Amino acid sequence: KYHSSDDFDGHRIVGFEVEPHSIVQATQSDPAQPGGLKAVCQEGAEATLMELDSYPEVIFTYDVTWEYSDIRWVSRWDNYLKMTGDKIHWFAILNSLMIMLFLSGMIAVIILRTIHRDITKYNELASAEDAAEETGWKLVHGDVFRKPRHSKLLAVSVGSGVQIVCMSVVTLFLALLGVLSPVHRGALLQSCLLLFTFMGFFAGYVASRLYKTFHGADWKQMTLLTAFLYPGIFFGIFFILNLLIWGQRSSGAVPFTTMFAMLCLWFGVSVPLVCLGAFFGFRKANIELPVRTNQIPRQIPVQSWFMKPAFTIMVGGVLPFGAVFTELFFIMSSIWQHQFYYLFGFLALVLVILLVTCAEIAMALTYFQLTAEDYNWWWRSFLSCASSGFYVFGYAILYFSSRLQIEKPVSTMLYFGYMLIMSILFFLLTGSIGLLSSFSFVRAIYSSIKID
């Protein structure tokens, strides 16, 4: 389809439609052609369906029909960028907002009523007899900031999660400004890779600050783990998948030069930035904690079944996943079914709702856990939100079985490999928000009471 105007000379192509047909092509011998045959076009000839097994080779031909179109040059992409389902998007946003408001109300009740009442009661305790009978979260004040197990891995995971959060926020901001557009193929992916590389500074800084709070001494190993652990997992999965594509001789394989450029970005830019961020983080003074940690750990009482770690972790991931469920469907359709996605306004709003939901569900579950006199909240606050990554991967399995018709083993491995990377990214993003918000929450409530 072409369009012409008085504003310019000649014609401009503004669209095209391709109609494939497998028909028996009339041929005649031609020694000048590579196969010794050339196709012959016959007007009005009957187009017989071609049986591939009956012919040793296939001859490709094409015909072009020109049609005038009223579509202007500046509007040529409109037909391809049409997206349906605006009502579904708004319904999903409304649903997520209701979840967020419900959690906000729960947090408001906890802070304004329960905690205020508890703090007032604790501050009014006068005698030793009353202090001995106190129950609730104040009882664990001497253990609430105790160093968790595998604190180094926790600090590295939170640092990498903050790196992903910063990358997502800046990428969406640029997309909202129109700098990143689906019209420019690959611009979004390139921007994500570059921003992930440059956000390594924040990963090193946050990981080092948290590790210093745990009084960790092996700062060199922590810094190296932040720079290499999760980026190494991502690159390893990507490299194995690319080897499989190379084995199939597919044109979609990433060239060796591009892989080398990615390694240069990783080792030449990301790793030094992580080390720089860790350097500044370790130079700063320790985060001030409102209470001291006892020498001897307090015994944790027997917990109810609904306060067991496995149950709270799996329940905590449901609401963050529910907040992004609908947008996840459209994003996966754009990746695996070649549809355009450019509703970055919806996506930015969903990201804000996701971050707030993660923070609120983590604070609520941490408060209930401390009320039950269980002070092992560090990993629990991280995993209660990060478990939404398992739901994302579970949804990927459902999407594969219900929406896609992929049968070849390499294509199947490609799908699940990339969805595994997406699930790990989501795991780290939500988990880091959950832990940092819980840490701020615990510091706030314990700094509001008088400790004898």
Tokens of 105: 């109300």
Cα 149 from Cα 71, distance rounded (Å): 63
At residue 231, φ and ψ (nearest 5 deg) are -60, -35
SS3 call for 296: coil
Single pTM value for the model:
0.82
Predicted local confidence at residue 126, as pLDDT: 44
**Distances in whole angstroms, Cα of residue 343 to Cα of each of 91, 96, 176, 222, 229:** 15, 17, 9, 39, 33
pLDDT tens series, the chain, 452 aa: 888 877 777 888 888 888 887 777 777 777 777 667 777 766 666 667 777 777 777 777 788 888 888 888 777 777 666 655 567 777 778 877 887 788 788 777 776 766 666 667 766 654 444 544 445 788 888 899 999 999 999 999 999 999 999 999 999 999 888 887 766 767 888 899 999 999 999 999 999 999 999 998 899 999 999 999 999 999 999 999 999 999 888 878 888 899 999 999 999 999 999 999 999 999 998 888 988 888 888 888 888 888 899 999 999 999 899 888 888 988 898 888 877 777 788 889 889 999 999 998 999 999 999 989 899 999 999 999 999 999 999 999 999 999 898 889 999 999 999 999 999 999 999 999 999 999 999 998 888 776 65
Say what the pLDDT of residue 400 is. 94
Amino acid identity for residue 195 in this structure: L
Both tokens of 76, joined, read: 């040529």
* 49 beta partners: 23
What six digits make up the tokens of 48? 């017989």
| Backbone angle region of 284, left / alpha / beta, with phi > 0 → left and psi within -120 to 50 → alpha | beta
- Residue 234, φ and ψ in degrees, nearest 5: -60, -45
pLDDT number for residue 129: 46
Return d(Cα 403, Cα 411) in angstroms, integer: 15
- The whole-angstrom separation of Cα 377 and Cα 363 is 10
3-state secondary structure 51-81: CHHHCCCCCCCCCCCCCECCCCHHHCCCCCC
Residue 408 DSSP SS3: coil
